Amino acid sequence: MILGCAALIALASAGAWPASEAEAATLRYATIGEPPSLDVQMGTATLATTIAQNMFETLYAFDSTGAPQPMLAEGETVSEDGKTIVITLRTGVPFHNGKEMNAEDVAASLNRWVEFGARGKTLNASSIEATGDNEVTITLAEVNGAWKSLLAFPNGGPVIYPADIVTAAGGEPIKPEAYIGTGPYKFVEWRANRHVELQKFDDYAARSEPADGSAGAREASIETLQFIPVGDVSTRVSGVQAGDYDYAEYISGDLYGILKDDPSVASHISSAPIFGLMFMNSKEGILAGNYKLRQAVLAALNMTEALQISVGDEELFSAQGSIFPEGNVWYTEAGTENYNQNDPEKAKNLAAEAGYKGEPISLLVSTNYQQHFDQANVFKQQLAKAGINVELNVTDWATLLKERGEPGAWDMFMTHHGPSPDPVLLTFMNASYPGWWTTDERNADLAKLVGTSDLEEREAAWATTQALVYEQIPAVKVGDVFSFDIASPALKTTWDRAPAFPYFWGATK
């Protein structure tokens, strides 16, 4: 950061441009630390995606409702059986090295992602081929209604590189000198523990549609983006207040009440909440298959109280039961009448019907996540009022990760889930994820969810599935929790609430 500022001062002193223009030309983003590889096909680190999405693009991108829209794709046709997808590509799209993107580049990138990528196997593709200069054909082994969302998600996703780069890389991470994409910014340098620097790509081929979420036109108005590792949260805050940084991520929630009225910063609450989950053991123990007892647990819980104690400021949480937030394409109220009941008498009656006689129920929780620990303690007290005996098994996060994989070690455990672009990527929808929820009803609902690409049919199938979640309760949703970032008041973005991966095309200073 110091070297970057020194360089700008030197340019101003030499008459290259006025200092005010130099400051306006660079956006300085204070990150929580040094990013891992920016080859996002191979990893799911949030920080890597935040940086890399400015350089690399996907075939589709999510609009403001969470629906995937064409980005590098122009359109597609899907066969009647849903297994063959022919994608027409945009023409005249240059890579940062000047080469024009074609179907060979896209096919090579997708094939690498499917074979080696973090999320590629989820597509379940049997073949991906260039079937024309600007046409790619994907053949699926089984119908996958989430295919378009998977091709739109940049986190661990199928960003497009030149064919020669992905072919040479294989399963190894791509090196910084080969960070060649089609995005509005291009890679300049990575100075370890100082910054990652990107520069506006003057030949960027933007879409013609208006910007809508991450979809539509992307316009780079700021010349340079610098991502600067600043591990200490107080240093990130004071840096924005002093004008050393333009943006700082992941500010502690207990500082929100102080900073929200501070005129030297602008607060950006996340638009993409994480949500707490208390998983139920569907394989072994007292809760396995005992839906009445699970329903008793759910009936006793006061989520508002748990969120107030574990999060604090009411602007940073929402006690709402839909798995997806309102405004998202997957939002539904199906089953949510059973959320946040706070009814100990109903819970007692359900527990009696379940044959429960006060046996201890083990709740596994980590001290590494204070919110998890606070929520577990609140739930223990609430369940005691309903006559349900919960014993906390308190451990560190590494031990919890080990023990949750052992069916006989727990009855419930606390965790959380980040934003998901599609219901099929939710952890409790994965039968191999600890909790191991798999029933005939769940499998039938899942088959409907993935068995079509029609969005309206998939939305209806998900509503049915969410209702089943509230009936069989593979996991209890605690509520939505919003992190917050801060920025210079001079920075104007196209969004007020921060996206899951903040982006700065369209931003000005």
Q: Which helix (H) or strand (E) holds 69?
A: strand 68-70
Q: What is the pLDDT of residues 449-470, one digit of tens each?
A: 988 888 899 999 999 999 999 9
486 near 251, Cβ under 8 Å? Answer: yes
Do 324 and 337 touch, CB atoms closer than 8 A? Answer: no
Q: Which CATH superfamily is domain 274-481 in?
A: Dipeptide-binding Protein; Domain 3 (3.10.105.10)
Q: Do domains 34-229 and 274-481 have the same CATH topology?
A: no
From first CA to last CA, the distance across the chain in angstroms is 18
pLDDT band at 430 (very low <50, low <70, confident <90, very high): confident
What is the band of 20 on the pLDDT scale with cuts at 50, 70, 90? low
Phi and psi angles of residue 220, each rounded to the nearest 5 degrees, phi first: -90, 105
C-alpha span between 120 and 430 (Å, rounded)? 16
* pLDDT tens figures, 48-93: 999 999 999 999 999 998 899 999 999 999 999 999 999 999 999 9
Q: Where are the domains of the chain?
A: 34-229, 274-481
Evaluated on CA atoms 56, 59, 63, 66, the torsion sign reads negative
Structure tokens at 431: 């039968």
Q: Please tell me the predicted confidence (pLDDT) of residue 452.
A: 87
Single-letter amino acid, residue 348: K
User: What residues have CB less than 8 Å from 324, skipping those under 6 apart?
Assistant: 66, 330, 331, 332, 420, 423
- Exposure on the CB side of residue 343, measured as CA atoms within 13 A: 14
Please state which architecture CATH assigns to domain 34-229.
3-Layer(aba) Sandwich (3.40)
Q: How many CA atoms lie within 13 A of 334 on its CB side?
A: 16
261-289 confidence digits (pLDDT tens): 999 999 999 988 999 999 999 999 999 99
